Amino acid sequence: MKIIKHIAIAGALSSSLLLVGCGGSSSSNSAQNPQANSQDISGTATAPAGAVAHYEAQNALELALNFFISPLAAAITGLDPISGATVELIRVDNSGNQVGDVLATTATSITGDYNLTLPQGVNLAGNLVVRITGSNDTLRAQVVEQDVDISPVSEFVLQKFISQGAALDQLAVTDVVKLSGRVEEFDLTLSGSNNLEQAFTALEDKLGDFLESEVAIVTSTKGDASGIAGNYRSSALSFGLHDSDSNNFGTFANDLWSSTFTFADNGNGAVTITHLAEDSFYYNLSGNALNQSSVYYESETESVDESFPATLTSSGILSIAGEFEEDIDGDFGWRFPGINLNLLRVADTGTFFLISNEAAVRYATVDTNNDDIKDAIDPQNKLGDEAFRSLEVFSRQPAAFTNSDLTGTFGRVFLESWVTNGIIEVQTEINTLTFDGAGNYDYGTVAGHLIGLTPGGATYNPITETAETNQPMVITADGDITSAGGEPSDGFINDTFDLLVFAEADGTNQQEAETNKTLLVKLPESAPTVTGNEYRMLLMSMKLDAGEELLMTSSKFNTFLTMASETSGTIDGAFFEVRKTGLGGNLDIATDTAENLSVDVSLGGAGISTLTVGGEGGGTTTMEGFFNENATLGVFTLSYAEANEDPDELGMVVLVKTGN
How large is the average pLDDT for residues 84-110?
Answer: 94
Residues 309 and 387 both lie in one domain: yes
As a whole number of angstroms, the distance between CA 163 and CA 554 comes to 21
How large is the average pLDDT for residues 591-616?
Answer: 91
How large is the average pLDDT for residues 332-343?
Answer: 84
Q: Where are the beta strands (DSSP E) in 86-192?
A: 86-92, 98-107, 113-117, 128-133, 138-142
Residues 51 and 144 both lie in one domain: yes
> Is pLDDT of 69 > 80?
no
As a whole number of angstroms, the distance between CA 267 and CA 255 comes to 35
> In this predicted structure, what is the pLDDT of residue 562?
98
Residues 231 and 112 both lie in one domain: no
> Is pLDDT of 74 > 60?
no
> Is pLDDT of 426 > 90?
yes
Query: Are 618 and 584 contacting, i.e. CB atoms less than 8 angstroms apart?
Result: no
> In this predicted structure, what is the pLDDT of residue 8?
28
By the 10 Å C-beta count (0-12 exposed, 13-18 middle, 19+ buried), 205 is classed as buried
CB atoms within 10 A of CB 247: 11
Residues 495 and 383 both lie in one domain: yes
Is residue 299 a part of any domain in this protein? yes
Residues 140 and 262 both lie in one domain: no
Is residue 217 a part of any domain in this protein? no
What's the mean per-residue pLDDT of the chain?
Answer: 87
How large is the average pLDDT for residues 318-341?
Answer: 84
Residues 89 and 232 both lie in one domain: no
Is residue 209 a part of any domain in this protein? no
pLDDT digits (tens, 9 = 90+) for 485-538: 999 999 999 999 999 999 999 999 999 999 999 999 999 988 889 999 999 999
Element (H, E) at 201: helix 196-218
The torsion of the CA quartet 154, 183, 312, 398, rounded to 10 degrees, works out to: 140
How many folded domains does the chain comprise?
2
Query: Are 34 and 120 contacting, i.e. CB atoms less than 8 angstroms apart?
Result: no
pLDDT digits (tens, 9 = 90+) for 128-183: 999 999 877 899 999 999 999 999 889 999 999 999 889 999 998 888 888 877 77
As a whole number of angstroms, the distance between CA 431 and CA 520 comes to 10
Q: What is the CA angle 220-224-226, rounded to 5?
A: 150
Is residue 180 a part of any domain in this protein? no
User: Of 171, 192, 211, at which residue does a domain stop?
Assistant: 171
> Is pLDDT of 386 > 60?
yes
Q: Which amino acid is at 600?
A: D
Q: Which amino acid is at 296?
A: Y
Report how far apart, in Å, the C-alpha atoms of 536 and of each of 86, 160, 595 are.
Answer: 42, 18, 14
Residues 150 and 248 both lie in one domain: no
Is residue 111 a part of any domain in this protein? yes
Which phi and psi (to 5°) does residue 543 adopt? -110, 130
Range in 8-12, 329-333, 439-443, 574-578 with the lowest mean pLDDT: 8-12
Residues 167 and 239 both lie in one domain: no
How large is the average pLDDT for residues 97-105?
Answer: 95
> In this predicted structure, what is the pLDDT of residue 526?
85
Is residue 406 a part of any domain in this protein? no
* pLDDT-based confidence at residue 10 (cuts at 50, 70, 90): very low
As a whole number of angstroms, the distance between CA 217 and CA 176 comes to 11
pLDDT digits (tens, 9 = 90+) for 454-487: 998 999 999 999 999 999 999 999 999 999 999 9
pLDDT digits (tens, 9 = 90+) for 241-252: 999 998 899 999
> In this predicted structure, what is the pLDDT of residue 193?
65
As a whole number of angstroms, the distance between CA 3 and CA 348 comes to 25
> In this predicted structure, what is the pLDDT of residue 1?
40
> Is pLDDT of 97 > 80?
yes
Is residue 78 a part of any domain in this protein? yes
How large is the average pLDDT for residues 273-302?
Answer: 96
Residues 471 and 547 both lie in one domain: yes
Residues 163 and 230 both lie in one domain: no
Which phi and psi (to 5°) does residue 135 adopt? -70, -30
> In this predicted structure, what is the pLDDT of residue 582?
92
User: Of 109, 142, 171, at which residue does a domain stop?
Assistant: 171
Query: Are 22 and 340 contacting, i.e. CB atoms less than 8 angstroms apart?
Result: yes
Residues 362 and 427 both lie in one domain: yes
Query: Are 493 and 475 contacting, i.e. CB atoms less than 8 angstroms apart?
Result: yes
Residues 157 and 301 both lie in one domain: no
> In this predicted structure, what is the pLDDT of residue 418?
98
> In this predicted structure, what is the pLDDT of residue 137?
85
Is residue 615 a part of any domain in this protein? yes
* Host domain of residue 378: 225-395+411-657
> Is pLDDT of 25 > 50?
no
As a whole number of angstroms, the distance between CA 315 and CA 656 comes to 12
The more confidently predicted of residues 473 and 185 is 473
The torsion of the CA quartet 45, 47, 50, 54, rounded to 10 degrees, works out to: -50
